[in-house]
Structure 1
Amino acid sequence: MRASLRSLLILSILMGIIPSLFAQQKTKIRFEGANSMKNLNLDEQKLIRYIGNVRFSHEGTRMICDSAYHNPDENWFNAFGNVRINQESSTITGEHLYYDGKTSTGKIDGNNVKLISDDATLTTKTLYFNSKEKSVYYNTPGVITTEDSKLTSLRGYYYDTSNQIHFAGNVVMENPDGKIYTDSLSYNTNSEMAYFFGPTYIFNEQNFAYCEKGWYNKKIEQVSLQYNAYILSKENKVFGDDIYYDKSTKFARITGNAVLVDTVNQAFVYGNKVNFWEDSENAEVSGNPHLVKIDNNDTLYLKADVFKIISKKDTITPDSTHRFIKALHNVKFYRSDIQGLCDSLIYFTHDSIVKMYSQPILWQNENQMTADEITIYSKNKKLNQIDFIGNAFITSVEDTNYYNQIRGKKIVVHFSDGKASKIDVNGNGQAVYFIRDGEILTMANRSESARIFIVLKNNKISKVTFKQKPLSNLYPIKKVEPEDITLKGFSWQPNKRPKDKYDIVPKNFILLPAEKGNEGRLKILNNEDIQHIPFKEESHRVENYAKPGNLKKDKKQDKLNVKGKSRKPLKFKDIER
């Protein structure tokens, strides 16, 4: 995208083309010579007809043609055939020129009107200029070319007094770096600011960008894409109300409904503000940020106050980059097979390891699990192992007011096919579990051991093995006291458990914003004619503020006014040879 935006630099070529056409003084048109001449009286006009190598000059501009009708009194002439206008380094060529020295306005037309200045050329069929207004415009399709760049549009306007250049109607800019298609574009030659309005499509080899309003500051190399803006690349998508980029600092900012999409790993990050540093490939997401990660047929939903996305180069494979996401403060997540909350969390994208800190709580099926620190490992996109380090505690409901409990310095839960199968308790292991006779609860067992191994079947304790210095007590269920079956640190907190994805994401959540310019993008890629969709913000369009004033074409403009009468301009065929 950044490379494509450099296509806007082509706009500055008009700075050298147009100002040279203008002059401040009002002087008589000077006839310099011709092969033959004849005085005529036509429709009460005193005219002079010139034929062959006709030459005029006016305020430093020389005009050459094959033949002309000149009215010295009214200070205008009508020129035909091989018209050429020269002023310093600029040249305009065409088939017909009407020039009014009194108003310093001119119109040159033909099948191939060209305005040439240095290494830039404008080609169109009709060109109007006004030295009094210091303006020029064309209302027939025009093409501006340089050695390696091209700009086309249906209309173009230039105002020297405001240093403004405007292009409107199917504007296309292209160079080796890429192409830009837009509805309307305005450029200020002084501030070097370009504004584009209406559906805008930006292409290069790596990226596609779309917006419906934006600006580009050539001087400091900053760009802003707004209104339904997004950027597509081979592996990523970026959406936002305003996508801003500063090339000098290599810093990007997305504000308003920001969405970052990793299409390869099916990861989606949302927020109201995203800061991105290109050199380090680090990012920060704030403003109700949340993350969605799709794995197989399941989806993880995660939210926090702030996300920090950090990139690290692989020390073994330098071309490879590993990323991890820090979720800070009020962290909560939901997946159908596991839910959790904590104050901070780190997610390593390359191996799907999750680390939870500061009073973390996990829920998995009937189990509530807590510790000082929790680490979650996945394999083949399924739970493989969970480590609970420091004050580890696992709780599940056995029956009303009766809870299975496991406590230790470290607890490791092993999974098979995504389901808990074994629990390994290390250091000061304690366990409370219950024995049934059929469906009836009969006994409570409270055991202690330095190491405890527990086998689970259908999420229920199937076998318990005590490895070191076991101590066990059995209590008849009818005689057991609460303190006999309650381990230190027990806290059952079902109300904190996320119930579904809408505890994480808004009720109106949409996975992916609409790519509103996609239809136009496909038409461009298929080399079809593209009809721009009318932009809602009509007041921002070029035509609504780039008004050409008396340069607007009307029926009277193509007529010669003589003593209050109007007549069509004289044609080349009317000239007697």
Structure 2
Amino acid sequence: MSNLIRISLLFSITLLMVSGFATSNSHAQDVVQIDYAREATVITENGESIRKMYDARLKTGNVTMVVDSAWQYIQRNQMHAFGNIQIETPDEWIWTDTLYYDINEELSQLRGRVIIRQDSTTLFGESVDYNFLTKVAFFNKGIRLEDTGGTLIAKRGTYFQNQDSAIFKGNVQIADTAQYAEGDSLFINRKTEFLQLYSNVLVADSSNNGLLTGDFLEADSTGRRFVDGNAYLRRISADTTDTTHINSNQALLLEQDSTNLIKSYGNVKVYGPNFSSVSDTLLYNSSTEIFELISNPIAWHNNIQLTGPYITVQMDSNQIRQLTAYHQTFVVQEDSTTGRLNQIKGDTLITDFMDGELSRILIYPNSQVLYHTANEQGESDGAVEYSSPRTIMAFKDGELERVVAGKNSGYFFEEFEGLADRKLDGFSWNPERKPQKPRVLIQPRFSPVPTVRPFELPRRYLEFLETNSDQIRF
């Protein structure tokens, strides 16, 4: 897609040659060279002189035009050309079925099958207006751009030559071998490789199984991608066994060498098969595989909920390896048999996982634990509550196996009514806030970019391709 950002649409065409057709016949003959014309006559219609040329090849300066027919309206300083027109300059080639040029207004109109080729970029349209004074070109009835990297299509397009920029509107689609993007409108600057895609934005990247959507996308040549409004990022692991979904108000994606950085802001929600979270801010580094959750974060793994002002999640490929929280952390584990809520709190908490299963919890200092016990029949039969400077809890297959605590003080409670509702100070349990897997699969709104051109290619264009086949790069 980077080649599409480097769109080269120099519309200095071509038709400046027409300015040589002045009101004076002798002046026109001095400026315009007729290399060949099967027939050239001057007639008078309704008191107006018209020079008519057929099967003509014309030159002016470094511009060459081949036409089936051309009519010069001498008094009006206008020219009409018809039938398989080909225009060549040192910078580009142009083909069109009809040409209207108003010399006084410096406005040209290309109609029919319009093709503009410059270097390795080719544009197709059926109605193109170009103003020589402002250096602005308008594609009024669709535009198709092709270069060595891919294809861009839209309902309308405007190119600003002096600013080296372009605007495309209406069902904008960009496709190359690895990426597809769509939106309602697009602004690009070729020189700075800067683009903005507006409204109903979708970007799919098959190279890393990524999908990005939002209300607005801004990108540049550094690999920076900023999404504003309903930002959504989906990434599928290389082995397709793991899919991560990130929703937020805004998202910033940065590419630095082989590292991808993700920064999400505002109502951030993450869903994955092994890890889910909510927070105000999320930071992710692909080289370290660490998620940082900042400001009011909550993280979930299976039946475990972790809250704290700052949480880090260490991933290892598709598996969660470690959860870490600092300052006033609180962990709740829902017992899979009794449904009771085991609780742990302290200043720092480190939770380790092995093969995706909880293996150890370390909490220090000022650890507090409330753990419900069960008998051999799996029935609740009491609880343990204690405080200790340091507590280590070991798990097997997700169930508590042993506890190692330092000097502690606490209580053992025999089973009684209301024990299941006992809570440590700062208790927080919010399963209703846990993000769920999206049920609707996001798909492009539009049909795939057609592989065929929008019209039958003109004869002279096909002849150009055949003659220059060794130079055509796509």
TM-score (norm 1): 0.72
- Of the three residues 441, 445, 460, the one matched with 2:384 is 445
- The one-letter code of the counterpart of 2:234 is V
Note if 1:420 corresponds to 2:358: yes
SS at match of 2:412: strand
CA distance in 2, matches of 1:147, 1:247: 20
| Per-residue CA distance 1:102-129 (angstroms, 9 max, x = gap) | 412122113xx21211111111221222
- Correspondence for 2:403: 464
Secondary structure in structure 1 of the residue aligned to 2:188: strand
Instruction: Give, in whole Å, the separation in 1 of the partners of 2:147 and 2:196.
Output: 21
Secondary structure of the residue aligned to 2:407 is coil
Q: Write out per-residue CA displacement over residues 304-336 of structure 1, whole angstroms, 9 at most, x where no aligned residue.
A: 222223444xxxxxxx25331211122122223
Partner of 2:472: none
| Equivalent position of 1:360 in the other structure | 297
Further displaced range: 455-464 or 157-166: 455-464
Deviations 1:512-549 (A, max 9, x none): 443543332xx69xxx9569xxxxxxxxxxxxxxxxxx
String of CA shifts for 1:190-227, please: whole Å, max 9, x gaps: 11101113443222223432222111100111111222
- Summarize deviations over 1:220-257 as a string: whole Å, max 9, x none: 11111222213334544332211101345553211111
Q: Is residue 384 of structure 1 aligned with residue 321 of structure 2? A: yes
Aligned to 1:246: 189
1:60 aligned residue = 27
Q: Which runs of 5+ in 2 are unaligned?
A: 459-474
Q: Secondary structure at the match of 2:314?
A: strand
User: 2:231 aligns to what?
Assistant: 289
- Indicate the residue corresponding to 1:171 in structure 2: 114
Residues of 2 paired with 1:4 and 1:171: CA distance? Answer: 21
CA contact (8 A) 1:199 1:517 kept: no
1:363: Cα distance to partner? 1.9
d(CA) in 2 for partners of 1:255 and 1:462? Answer: 55
Distance 1:7 1:491, change over 3 A: closer
1:131-280 alignment runs, 5 A limit:
131-247=74-190, 250-278=193-221, 280=222
Shift of 1:2: 5.6
Report if the CA contact (8 A) 1:444-1:480 is conserved.
no
Q: How many residues align?
A: 450
Distance 1:453 1:238 in 2: 50
In structure 2, the CA distance between the partners of 1:331 and 1:202, relative to structure 1 (3 Å rule), is same
1:308-319 alignment, distance < 5 Å: 308-312=252-256
Which residue of structure 2 lines up, in the alignment, with residue 410 of structure 1?
348
CA–CA distance in structure 2, aligned partners of residues 158 and 333 of structure 1: 58
Kept after mapping to 1: 8 A contact 2:338/2:380: no
Contact 1:21 1:131 (C-alpha < 8 Å) held by counterparts: yes
Following the alignment from structure 1 to structure 2, what is the Cα–Cα distance between the partners of residues 353 and 123? Answer: 63
Per-residue CA deviations over 1:126-174 (Å, capped at 9, x if unaligned) read 1222123322222211111123521112222212233221222232222
Percent sequence identity over aligned pairs: 19
Report the CA distance between 1:4 and its aligned residue: 6.3
- 1:404 Cα deviation from its structure 2 partner: 0.4
User: Does residue 435 of structure 1 match 2:386?
Assistant: no
In structure 2, the residue matched to 1:119 is 62
Distance 1:459 1:448 in 2: 23
Distance 1:351 1:165, change over 3 A: farther
In 2, the alpha carbon distance for the partners of 1:163 and 1:515 equals: 38
**Pair 1:518 & 2:450 matched:** yes
Deviation at 1:392, TM superposition (A): 1.8
Question: Which SS does the other structure have where 2:230 is aligned?
Answer: coil
Residue in 2 aligned with 1:19?
19
Q: What is the aligned-residue RMSD (CA, Å)?
A: 2.8
Matched, 1:371 2:338: no
Rounded Cα–Cα distance in structure 1 between residues aligned with 2:363 and 2:5: 57
Q: Distance in 2 between matches of 1:409 and 1:107?
A: 91
CA displacement 1:529-576 (0-9 Å, x = unmatched):
569xxxxxxxxxxxxxxxxxxxxxxxxxxxxxxxxxxxxxxxxxxxxx
1:19 maps to amino acid: S
> 1-side partners of 2:374 and 2:420: how far apart?
18
Of 44, 50, 75, which residue of structure 2 is paired with 1:105?
A: 50
SS of the residue 2:416 aligns to: coil
AA paired with 1:21? F
Equivalent residues of 1:228, 1:516 under 8 A apart: no
How many Å separate the matches in 1 of 2:206 and 2:339?
A: 47
Letter in 2 for 1:289: A
| SS of the residue 2:148 aligns to | coil
Pairing of 1:2-17 with structure 2 (within 5 A)? 5-11=7-13, 13-15=14-16, 17=17
Give the Cα separation in 2 of the matches to 1:154 and 1:349.
Answer: 53
